[in-house]
Structure 1
Amino acid sequence: MRIVLQIGPDRATGDRLARVLAEAQEALRAAGALLPRDHGPRGAARLSMAASDPQRIDRLRVQQGFGAPEAQAALRQQIARQLQEEVAQHRPDLLILSAPQLGSGLCSRAELQSLRDLLRPLSDDIHVLAHLDDPARLLARHYAAQLVAGRSTSLTQDLALCEVPDWWQAALAGRPAADPLAGRFPEVEGAPFWLDFARLEAEWQAVFGVDRVRFCSTDPHRLYGPDALAEIGAAFGLSLTGRSRPEPLPEAPAEAWLTRCRLMNDALQRHQARHGQSLPPPLWRSLLTEIRVAGPALAPGALHAVSARFAPDIAALCARHAGFDAARMAADPALPDWQEADPLYGFRATQYLMAFAPRLGQAGPPPAARSALPPEAQQALERLAGTPFAPHNRLGTCDETAEAPAYSAAPRPPRPDGRAERVIVGCMKNEAPYIVEWVAYHRAIGFDSFLIYSNDCEDGTAQILDRLQAMGVLQHRDNSAWQGKSPQQHALDQARDEPLLRQAGWIAHIDVDEFINLRCGNGTLDDLFARLPAETTHVAMTWRLFGHGGVTDLSGDPVIAQFTDCAPAYCPKPHIAWGFKTLSRTTGAYAKLSCHRPTKLDPDQAAQVRWVNGSGADMTGEVLHRGWRNSRRSIGYDLVQLNHYALRSADSFLIKRQRGRALHVDRDIGLNYWIRMDWSGARDVTIRRNLPRLRTEMARLLADPELARWHAHGLDWHRARAAELRGLPDFARLRAQALALRLTPTERAAYALSLDMES
C-alpha cells in the first residue's frame, strides 16, 4: 500500500482539496484509494497534533485539549489504532492523508520523523505532496488567517526576512515565546517559515526520501470549480471522473479590517495577561467579526519583494517537479511596497475593548473543578475550558427562553388515496405513560401514521399500541422474538418490508423520549418543508439534551411542559450531545434503516442525495456515507431540533435503569448515563407553543374509554415500580448520587468526556 501525505501548507487550498476528496469517497474507493474517516476537512489537524513536539506549546493542541504530553500520546495511539482498523477493513492500494497543518505546523526534522514513525506500521511506501502558490499570494492569505486567529504583530516583520540569507531559520528564531494565558502562540505571531520552498523540500526529503516528495501548483479556478476532482486526482496519480460541487473562490477580507484585527488582538492579549482571563476562541473570533469593515483587500503585488526573494528557488523547483507549473507560479504585477492600511473611521481598539468589557468579564477563568469531579474529570476540565469545545449558548437565531404565542391548530385533510405520506418508526419497551402524548404531539405537527415495535412489555405498552392500531392511528408489531445485537436494529430490519414504509414519502425513526421541535412558521411539517431547499432528501434533526430540571417524581403532565432545562445550544462535546436522528425522503438511495440515519448508499444515487442540518444548510459532504452527529461546521437548530428527554424525572430514570437500553443492550444505565444526559445551564421553552393543540389531540384520543383505561394503568404501574426501586439499596444510592450532582455545563462536558467511551 502506498501512502500519500498532502501537506498543504496553504490552509485554504488544503481545506478545499479535503472537501472535494470527502465528497468523492465512492470514486476514490473504486480507484483503490481510501481517505480515512477523521482525516478529511474536519479531522485533518489531528495528524499534525499527534506528530508535533510534545514539549512545544502548540496552539492546536492547547485549544483542542491535547496540550499535555500524556493527552497527546493518547491521541497518537488513537489515530494509529483507527488508521490500522480502517486499512484492515478496506485494504486500499492508496491511503490519502490530507492535512495542511503538516506543512505549516511541523517545523523540525524530529517532528517529521515522529510523523513517519506513526505511519510506518501501515506502510513504508510514504510519499509527500505539497500544493503551492506564489509566495506573495500565500503570505497574503496566511497573514489574514493569522489575524483571525489572534496575531498582534505587523506584516513588517515578515517582509524584513527578505533581506536575510536564511528565511527558514530566521522565521523560526523570530517567533515570540508562547503565552497561552494571553492568547499568544508562536505559530500565530511568527512569519511562515515554510515559504522557503527549497528548504521545505530539503527537510521533507531528508526524512521521507529524495524521490518521495513532490510539489505541484493548482489553478484556483479549477480547484473551486466543477473540474476539481480531475485536477486533484491527477496530483495523486488517480484518474477520477465526475463533477465536483463548485464553490465560490474565497473572498479576501478588507485590508482595513486586517489592521483592525491586529490592533484589537493586541488589546485583547494585553487585557488577558492583565486580568488572568482566557477568552474562548469562538468569543475572540466573534469580537473580531463585529469590527469588520468593507474595502479593498491586501494585494499580493504589494508583497512583490517576497516573490522576488524566492524567484530563483521557484524556477529551480519547477524544473525538478513535473507538476510545478511556472505559469501558475507567476507573481502578481508589482505594486508600491506594502504599508499597513488605515483602520478607517478613527478606529481605536481600546474603545471597543471597553464596549466589549461585559462580555469579557463573563469569559473569566474557568470555574474550579468541584469536589464531585474525580481526578480524570478534573484533568478533562482543564483541557476543555477555554477551547472551541467548551459549551455555551451563543448559537442560533431563536429566543429559546421567552414564552411565545401558542401555535394554532393545523388540521391536515386525509389523503384521497388513504396513503400515509409521513411516517414515524419507533421501538418501545415499558413506555406506557408517555405513548399517548408522543403520538398526539407528532400527529398535531403533521405526521400521518406510526409503525411501532414493542418487546417484552409489562406495563400496558402493548395494549395501548394495540388499541391505537384498532383506532386507525398507528400500526403495532410485536418484536419480543428479536434476534441479533439489539431489539431496535432487528425491528428496523423488519420495517424495510412493511407496506406502510414502502409507500411513505418521508420517514423518521425516533424514540418515545424524542420530540421533533419544529421552530419555524406554525410549527408543522408543512412549514418546515416550505423553508428547506427544494432538493432536500434528508434532514439531520440534532438532539437537544434535556435534564430532569429538579423534577423527581413521576407525573401525568405532558413531558414537553415539565422539562425545560437543557444543554447549551453549542455543545460539541461529549460525543453524544450533537447526535442526530434523520427525517428522510424515501428515494431509495439508502438500503438500510439504522438508529440515527439510513445507511448502505447506492452509489448510482449518491448525486441525488442532499442532506441539510436543522437550519436548512447543506451538510451532504460531511454525512453522505457515514456519521450520526453534527460537527461545529454543520450544527444548526434554527428550523428544527430533536428535543431528547432521555431522563425525564429522577423516578423515570430509575425505571429506565431497571429496563435497560434498546440499542446498546450490553451497556448499563448508571451514574455515567445520568452525567451524560442530565443537562442544565440553558433553558428552551420553544416546544411549549404546541401545548394547546397537543392537549386537544390527547383529549380526542383519550375519549376512547379503553385507551384511557390502559393509559391510566401505565401511569399507576410506573409509579408503583418507582416506589419499589427506591426501596432497593442500589437504586436508592444511585438516585441520591444523581440528585446530589451540581455541575456547570463545562464541568458536565468534562466529566462525561472522562467517562465516555465514544468521545
Structure 2
Amino acid sequence: MARGARAVTPPPLTFCGRFPHLAQRERFRLPPRHTLISSVKDEGPFLLEWVAHHRVLGFDRILIASNDCSDGSDRLLGALDQAGYITHVPNALKPGDIPQHAGYEKIRRLHGIDETEWLMMLDADEFLNVHVGDHRVADLTERAEADIDVVALYGMFFTSHPVARWRAGRVCPLFTHRLPTQHKANAALKTLTRHPGRFRGIHNHSMVGFKDKVPLQVLWGDGTRTQTDPALPLWRQLRNGDVKAVSHRLAQYNHYGLKAPDSFALRRARGRGAVPETNAETARHTEAYFAERNQPGGEDHSIARYGAEVQALMAEMLGHQKIKRRQRVCEESYAALLAAIR
C-alpha cells in the first residue's frame, strides 16, 4: 500500500471488549491493524502473561515462532493457537540460521503479515507500555500522522531487585525497579512499522531493506519526528542515537532482561536468538552484562494500569484445560532446569 493510502479498519469489537481474540476469525477477513510477532526458545513460564498483556493492549494478531524448546514452550504455544489466542509457527532451524530472523521470515512467508497496517517485533521479556490516550496500541499509532512510516520507541530496563530466586507468577508486578532513564541500556529501540510489505526483511529492532529510494518519516517516543537518509541503512540511523535523547513521553517498552539471578543464568545457558551460534565471541548475557544493568535507578509502576485486565484474560486462558496443563508443565520444567544449574 502506498504511503498515505487509507487503511481498512476492522469492525468494532462486540461483547469481547478489549479482548480481541474472541472475534479473531471474523476480523481476519480484513487486514489486521496491529500485528505483533516474536521468536522464542524456552520461555514457557512467561508466555501466558506476555500474550495476555499484548491482547489487552489491542494487538489483533499475535504470531510466535518457536525453536528447539526443552521446557514445553512449543506445546503451550500450540494450545494457545488451538484456543485462538495466537498463531504458533514451529521453526525448525538449519545449520547457520539466525533463530529470530528465520522465525520472522517463516511467519512472513506463511501468514501474510505484509497486509497488516502496523507491525511490531518484541521479545518475550519486552512489554509495550503506552502512556497516551487509553493506553492501547491504537492510541499510540493514532499519534502518527498519515506520512509517518516508523514509530521508534526506547526501552525501560528493569533490574532483578528485590527478587533473589525465580518463582512462578507474573513478571510485571514483581519487577518494578528500573535503571536511570539515561542509562545506555534504555537506548535500545523497538519499532512499529506501517505497511511492512515495503521492506525486504524483518530484524529484531526494525524492518530492513526499504524498497524505495525516498526518506522514511520517523515518529519518536518523545513526540518529535525526523526523516531518514535513503543512502544509509535504516537500522544504523535508528540505533545510533544519543542516550541523552531517551524519552518515554508517548510510550516505552518495559524490558525485563534480567529477572531473578537464577533466571538470568538459565538465559545465558540458553544462548542468543540473534546469532547463528552462541559462543565465547558472540555471548552477550555475561556476568558483566548483569552487573552493569542491575543498578539502582528508581521504580516504575506504570504498567500496573493493565494488571486487572491481564489477570482476567490469563484466568480465562487457564480455563482451557490443555493450556492449564501445559502451563504447569512449563513451570515444572523451568524449575527443573534451574535446579540443574544452581
TM bucket normalised to smaller: 0.7 to 0.9
Distance 1:550 1:460 in 2: 28
Match of 2:192 in 1: 583
Match of 1:564 in 2: 176
Match of 1:492 in 2: 104
Match of 1:686 in 2: 302
Displacement of 1:424 in angstroms is 1.1
Which is richer in helix? 1
Which of 447, 452, 457 lines up with 2:69 in the alignment? Answer: 457
Contact 1:482 1:491 in 2 (8 A): no
Distance 1:559 1:488 in 2: 23
Match of 1:619 in 2: 226
Match of 2:18 in 1: 410
Contact 2:132 2:140 in 1 (8 A): yes
Q: Which runs of 4 or more aligned residues in structure 1 lie more than 4 Å from their structure 2 counterparts after TM superposition?
A: none
Contact 1:546 1:680 in 2 (8 A): no
Q: Which amino acid aligns with 1:626?
A: W
Which of 279, 282, 286 lines up with 1:670 in the alignment? Answer: 286
Alignment of 1:590-669 (within 5 A): 590-604=199-213, 606-607=214-215, 609-621=216-228, 625-627=234-236, 628-629=238-239, 630-632=241-243, 634-664=245-275, 665-666=278-279, 667-668=282-283, 669=285
Q: Which amino acid aligns with 2:252?
A: Q
Query: Structure 1's 498 and 586: CA in aligned 2 closer, same or farther, altered over 3 A?
Result: farther
Displacement of 1:529 in angstroms is 2.3
Displacement of 1:505 in angstroms is 1.5
Contact 1:507 1:585 in 2 (8 A): yes
Alignment of 1:15-164 (within 5 A): none
Match of 1:23 in 2: none
Length, aligned pairs only? 313
Contact 1:547 1:645 in 2 (8 A): yes
Displacement of 1:483 in angstroms is 4.0
SS at match of 1:642: strand
Contact 2:199 2:209 in 1 (8 A): yes
Distance 2:56 2:271 in 1: 30
> Is there any run of 5+ residues in structure 1 with no aligned partner, and where?
1-408, 727-759
**Cα deviation code 1:115-159 (max 9, x no counterpart):** xxxxxxxxxxxxxxxxxxxxxxxxxxxxxxxxxxxxxxxxxxxxx
Query: Structure 1's 562 and 703: CA in aligned 2 closer, same or farther, altered over 3 A?
Result: same
SS at match of 1:497: helix
Distance 1:411 1:476 in 2: 19
**Cα deviation code 1:581-629 (max 9, x no counterpart):** 111111533211111111112234x24x321111221133378733242
Displacement of 1:635 in angstroms is 3.0
Q: Which amino acid aligns with 1:705?
A: Q
Contact 1:539 1:612 in 2 (8 A): yes
Give % identity.
27
Query: Structure 1's 693 and 723: CA in aligned 2 closer, same or farther, altered over 3 A?
Result: same
**Cα deviation code 1:476-519 (max 9, x no counterpart):** 12223244352112222333323331222111111100000111
1:525 aligns with 2:141: no
SS at match of 2:193: strand
* TM-score (normalizing by structure 2): 0.85
Match of 1:513 in 2: 125
Contact 1:611 1:624 in 2 (8 A): no
Q: Which amino acid aligns with 1:663?
A: A
Query: Structure 1's 557 and 416: CA in aligned 2 closer, same or farther, altered over 3 A?
Result: closer
1:534 aligns with 2:146: yes
* TM-score (normalizing by structure 1): 0.39
SS at match of 1:673: helix
Match of 2:311 in 1: 695
Query: Structure 1's 423 and 496: CA in aligned 2 closer, same or farther, altered over 3 A?
Result: same
Comparing 459-468 with 711-720, greater Cα deviation is found at: 711-720
Distance 1:521 1:489 in 2: 33
**Cα deviation code 1:274-315 (max 9, x no counterpart):** xxxxxxxxxxxxxxxxxxxxxxxxxxxxxxxxxxxxxxxxxx
Distance 1:442 1:483 in 2: 32
Match of 1:18 in 2: none
- CA root-mean-square deviation: 2.2
SS at match of 1:447: coil
Displacement of 1:662 in angstroms is 1.0
Contact 1:424 1:450 in 2 (8 A): yes
**Cα deviation code 1:68-118 (max 9, x no counterpart):** xxxxxxxxxxxxxxxxxxxxxxxxxxxxxxxxxxxxxxxxxxxxxxxxxxx
Which is richer in strand? 2
Distance 2:30 2:145 in 1: 27
Match of 2:325 in 1: 709
Displacement of 1:695 in angstroms is 0.5
Distance 1:482 1:516 in 2: 31
Distance 1:525 1:683 in 2: 23
Q: Which amino acid aligns with 1:611?
A: V
**Cα deviation code 1:529-581 (max 9, x no counterpart):** 2333332221112111111012022222211101111111122x3xx430111
Contact 2:118 2:196 in 1 (8 A): no
1:725 aligns with 2:338: no
> Is there any run of 5+ residues in structure 2 with no aligned partner, and where?
1-16
Larger radius of gyration between Structure 1 and Structure 2: 1
Q: Which amino acid aligns with 2:257?
A: A
